[in-house]
Amino acid sequence: MTSTTGTMHSCKVQEDVALVTLDHPPVNVLTPELLTELDGAFDSLAKDDAVKAVVLTGAGRYFVAGADIRVLASIPSSAEGEALARHGQMILNKIEAFEKPVIAAINGACLGGGLELALCCHIRFAAEGARLGLPEINLGIMPGFGGTQRLPRLVGRPKAMELILTGAPVSAQEAMSLGLVSRVVSADDLLRQAQGLARKMAVKSRVALRASLRAIREGMKLDLSDGLVLEARLFGELCDTDDRKEGVSAFLEKRQPRFKNH
């Protein structure tokens, strides 16, 4: 197991899975400094061949309670506000485009920028009792780190409109019914289940994981016919890999594959 620690986060790698824990007491407010740390952590994980999947969670009773209100209060102009939003979007876009699966383990309040962070992860688990929402409208602003774009694509336009325009949070169970999270588990079991799923993914071929993530991510931006073209091209590229040969051989020989990740 390897581990690294920043001022506002920790990262531990075990069995090909990285656990990134946001640790900015008391409520894991998403400050520009925390975003910068998170950006650096994912840059490092992208280069680490020992990591094949990532679990992202928060320390204590909160995933992320929101953005730093003091930062929002000090924005001097529209230009500065736009720059702040673009900076946050850039970092979250990188996580969404990460070539290894990222699972958000939402352990408590997941509001504002916290939900926007969770939305850019590939899969979301929530603990029972977690609350998820985009309350920015209550401050006279709106989501700026991708919430108005990712939430409608995930839960549909009508429900996203309701949640964004009222700022009302939803429970973990309602979030699952909306498709916002894929699993609700007890708080005590959250990390075990998230890391368990990550390990199931980590034993797969790295090149197949990367291609599948790309097909889904980029295909969602295309119409069906163009998405199918992308899928076929990526499928064809995988047919030239050693891992395709190993995976098929292992199946025919009734044994576990030994992927080389190329």
Distance CA 168, CA 117 (A): 18
Distance CA(50)–CA(15), nearest Å, equals 8
Active site positions, annotated = 116, 136
Note the pLDDT tens digit of each residue in 208-259.
999 999 999 999 999 999 999 999 999 999 999 999 999 999 999 999 999 9
pLDDT, tens digit, for every residue of 172-195?
A: 999 999 999 999 999 999 999 999
Short-list 105, 102, 80, CA closest to 93: 102
pLDDT reported for residue 186: 97
Asked whether 55 and 90 are in contact (CB, 8 A), the reply is: no
What is the pLDDT confidence band of residue 23, given thresholds at 50, 70 and 90? very high
Token pair belonging to 91: 């970092």
Domains (range + CATH), the chain: 2-202 (3.90.226.10), 206-252 (1.10.12.10)
